[in-house]
Amino acid sequence: MIRVLLALDGALVRGSIAFVLSAEPDIEVVAEIQQADQIGPAWQATRPDVTVVDLDLYELDDPPRYESQDCAQPGPVLILAAARQVARLRRALVRDTCMLGFLSNDVAPVRVVDAVRRLARGEPVADADLVVEALTAKTPFTTRELEVLEIAAQGHPVAEIAAQLALSPGTVRNHLSRVTVKTGARTRIDAVRIAREAGWIS
C-alpha cells in the first residue's frame, strides 16, 4: 500500500485528487493539509511514502528537514506547479537532490495516480514541457524594474521608491506601469502578487 500525504491549497482540487487516489486499491491518502507549516508535523505523524504538494506550499528558502540533512523534503515528493511559476520551479530543480517529481497542476488526475506509483518505486517523474520552460525562462523585467518592484512590494509609496533609487517619481511610475503590463496585472498589488508567485521577487 502506497501511503500519500496531500499538501494542496484549495479544498476542491485537494478533495478531487484525494478521491481519485483513494479509489485505487494500492493507494491510501493518510492526510490532507493546506498550509506549508503543517507539512512537517503531518509527515512526522503519518510517515507517507509519497507527498503531493503545491509549489506554492513547498518551502524553497527554509525547507523542513526530516530524515536526512541531505534531503530538503520528506522522501519522494510530487510537486504540482503552474506554468507562471517557472522561476520558483527552477529554484526547486537546481536546489534539491532528493527524489522529486514535477507535473503541471492542471493535469488529469490519472497522471497524478501514475506519478505517485512511479515515485514510490523510485522512478523519475517530470512534465518535460514544464521542466524545459523552468530551466530556460528568464524574468521579463529589467534590472531597474526589479529594483522598483522589490521596494514597492515592501509597501513603500512612489515618493520613497524614487528617493531610495535616486529617480524621479515619474520614472518610478513608468517602471511600475511597465511591470504591470508585463505581468498582465490590473493593479500594482496584483503585479507584486504575480511576481512573487513566479519567484521573480522575494
Q: Name the pLDDT band for 201 (thresholds 50, 70, 90).
A: confident
Q: Name the pLDDT band for 72 (thresholds 50, 70, 90).
A: very low
Considering the domain architecture, whether residues 164 and 68 belong to the same structural domain is answered as no
Considering the domain architecture, whether residues 131 and 101 belong to the same structural domain is answered as yes
Give the tens place of pLDDT for each residue, 30-54. 999 998 888 889 988 999 999 999 8
Cα-based angle 79, 80, 86 (whole degrees, multiple of 5): 95
3-state SS, residue 17: helix
Residues ≥6 apart with Cβ < 8 Å to 27? 1, 2, 4, 21, 113, 116, 117
Domain ends where: 135, 165, 189? 135
For residues 99-126, average pLDDT: 89
Q: What is the pTM of this model?
A: 0.65
Distance CA 77, CA 71 (A): 11
Identify the domain containing residue 70 by its residue range: 2-135
Considering the domain architecture, whether residues 128 and 181 belong to the same structural domain is answered as no
Distance CA 177, CA 195 (A): 14
